[in-house]
Amino acid sequence: MTDELNFVQKARREKLEALVAMGITPFAYGYERTHHAVEAVASLAAGVEEGGLVRVAGRLVAWRGHGKTSFAHLADSSGRIQLYFRRDELGDAVFAQLALYDVGDVVGVAGTLMRTRTGEVTVRVTAVEMLAKSLRPLPFGKEEIVDGVTVRHSGFADPEQRYRQRYADLAVHPEVRAVFLARARLVSAIRGFLDGRGFLEVETPVLQPLYGGAAARPFTTRHNALDMPLFLRIADELYLKRLIVGGFDRVYEIGHDFRNEGIDRTHNPEFTMLEFYQGFADYEEMMTVVEALITHAADAVRAVSGMGERVPALRSPFRRIEWVSSLTAELGCDAMSLTDAELRAEAERRGIDHASTMSRPKLLDELFGALVESRIVEPTFVVDYPVELSPLAKPKRGNPALTERFELFAKGRELANAFSELNDPIDQRQRFEAQARLRAEGDEEATGVDEDYLRAMEYGMPPMGGVGIGIDRLVMYLTDTAHIRDVILFPTMRAE
């Protein structure tokens, strides 16, 4: 049923032709509105039965014909309003034209406000215009209001179709629009927060000759004129830190990173990352910034209609736990003094698969993930990671086995990752060279030596705290959403 028109589509095309034959343009250029639907409803004060003229425009979402009258509902970005058409008011010719209107059509109506006997504010339509004829039926479900809650019957449920045709999903599901409105408010709030603290928003290359700043397989492409390979960035980190060398004290970027890895409910190949770097700050200071930023973002989401009750209550200050001592408490013995074999035995005992082939850092990470991370519900800073797990962070003052790093977890998921950033170019070169050796051995996630970045560091890189926050996951957390696809408008899908 892709090319051939089904009987519903045929009927709609016939109505379109009938409109054209009557001299009506079924695809308009605009419509002068006086109100959004919700504003129009609100403009009729309680107890008042009749109001003034309004002009509203939107999509017909329900139609109830009654012979010489009709009721309909029109929905726009603000919400819904009922329409009431009367033959004696519109005249026979115009009223007859209503037979050519369908649910899904985009229309503009003018009329006076009234209240029906059930009290619903309604437009008593005096003029109606077709603004865009809908030639393909939208999968509207029937709605009823039960105890003030909208209950939808049938409707558009196939997840594949909802993701592939997000426009239709959005058109019939106001609650889906609300999630993306919340997302936009959240990003806007973060910009406001960082701008207010003197951070400069910058744009760094998506196409990079070398990739770095994280461990992930990249997407590769090629520039024809330069005849060179390029990588889509997996992180913004190394470019943003170059800018701190350049003298910008505080910078941030919100943009897409790309990682050529699996797709599941928390991973999309392109996703939105916020990274920000604050010169002369260490990770302790960044913890206070992150806490304030998350709280601010949560307030913005909470302010979106319909989202309030989905946003978790955040109590400041966020709990802080140390990586080593929290794992030690769960294991019942000192995690760091266990031998590799003992760690492996612990991992196997705790049901971690493939423990026999894991490196020591991987074993530590897996054990921590299973015993500590996954059980965190309230927002919690995990601080001072073992150096084996944190190749990009500065050693902890007074304990070189640890690093000055924290991650923020909530509901078992990572929301932020931050460190006191490495600013020693000699140490950095050694770490790059270690990566390059791994790469030569076939590790696709390892990066090469970034000589330009080292050159920047050698000029003198101020100490700084850096933070990365996955915006998609933050939106998921704050809107209580289980799948990353539900917070990305057009998630990556296989070709149809």
Positions 404 through 433 that interact with RNA (CB under 7 A): 417
Q: Is 139 in the site for RNA (CB under 7 A)?
A: yes
With contacts defined by CB under 7 A, how many residues of the chain interact with RNA? 74
Q: Is 22 in the site for RNA (CB under 7 A)?
A: no
Binders of RNA in range 357-376 (CB under 7 A) = 361-362, 365
Contacts with RNA, 212-231, as mask; x by CB under 7 A:
--xxx---------------
Tokens 């408490």 sit at which residue? 329
Out of 30, 117, 227, 228, which residue is the one contacting RNA (CB under 7 A)?
Answer: 117
Binders of RNA in range 185-214 (CB under 7 A) = 214
Binders of RNA in range 286-325 (CB under 7 A) = none
Tell me which DSSP letter residue 313 carries. P
Binders of RNA in range 23-52 (CB under 7 A) = none
Q: Is 71 in the site for RNA (CB under 7 A)?
A: yes
Out of 25, 48, 92, 141, which residue is the one contacting RNA (CB under 7 A)?
Answer: 141
Nearer to RNA, 120 or 249 (CB): 120
Nearer to RNA, 63 or 314 (CB): 63
Binders of RNA in range 252-291 (CB under 7 A) = 259, 261-262, 264-267
Q: Is 494 in the site for RNA (CB under 7 A)?
A: yes
Q: Is 73 in the site for RNA (CB under 7 A)?
A: yes
d(CA 44, CA 360): 69
* Helix, strand, coil % in the chain, rounded to nearest 5: 35, 25, 35
Looking at 200-208, 310-318, 354-362, 374-382, which segment touches RNA (CB under 7 A)? 354-362
Q: Is 354 in the site for RNA (CB under 7 A)?
A: yes
Torsion of CA 335, 338, 342, 348, to 10 degrees: 20
Looking at 62-70, 274-282, 375-383, 434-442, which segment touches RNA (CB under 7 A)? 62-70
The Cβ-side half-sphere exposure at 389, using a 13 Å CA radius, reads 26
From 127, 113, 110, 111, select the one nearest 43 (Cα to Cα).
Answer: 113
Give me the long-range contacts of 113-117 (CB less than 8 A, separation at least 24).
113/40, 113/43, 113/44, 113/50, 113/51, 113/52, 113/54, 114/49, 114/50, 114/51, 114/84, 115/44, 115/48, 115/49, 115/50, 116/82, 116/84
Structural contact between residues 242 and 279, judged by C-beta atoms closer than 8 angstroms: no
Distance in Å, CB of 259 to RNA, minimum: 6
Distance in Å, CB of 144 to RNA, minimum: 3
Give backbone dihedrals phi and psi of 190, rounded to 5 degrees, phi first: -65, -45
Out of 2, 118, 337, 356, which residue is the one contacting RNA (CB under 7 A)?
Answer: 118
Tokens 């170059």 sit at which residue? 242
Q: Is 142 in the site for RNA (CB under 7 A)?
A: yes
Q: Is 65 in the site for RNA (CB under 7 A)?
A: yes
Out of 353, 378, 433, 458, which residue is the one contacting RNA (CB under 7 A)?
Answer: 353
Looking at 32-40, 111-119, 188-196, 308-316, which segment touches RNA (CB under 7 A)? 111-119
d(CA 477, CA 489): 17
Residue 226's alpha-carbon distances to 210, 218, 271, 449, 455, in angstroms, are: 15, 20, 28, 21, 23
**Can you state the angle between helices 237-245 and 451-458, rounded to 10 degrees?**
30
From 372, 420, 428, select the one nearest 397 (Cα to Cα).
Answer: 420
Nearer to RNA, 291 or 414 (CB): 414
Nearer to RNA, 147 or 227 (CB): 147
Out of 182, 281, 392, 410, which residue is the one contacting RNA (CB under 7 A)?
Answer: 392
Binders of RNA in range 78-97 (CB under 7 A) = 82, 84, 86-88
Contacts with RNA, 439-478, as mask; x by CB under 7 A:
------x---------------------------------
- The end-to-end CA distance of the chain, in Å, is 14
Looking at 24-32, 99-107, 316-324, 459-467, which segment touches RNA (CB under 7 A)? 99-107
Q: Is 169 exposed, middle or buried (0-12, 13-18, 19+ CB in 10 A)?
A: buried
Out of 29, 153, 332, 341, which residue is the one contacting RNA (CB under 7 A)?
Answer: 153
List, as one string, the DSSP characters of 126-187: EEEEEEE---S---PPEEEEETTEEEEES----HHHHHHTHHHHHHH-HHHHHHHHHHHHHH
Q: Judging by DSSP bridges, how do beta strands 228-232 and 149-153 pair with one another?
A: unpaired
Nearer to RNA, 380 or 481 (CB): 481
Any bridge partners for residue 111, and if so which?
Answer: 54, 125
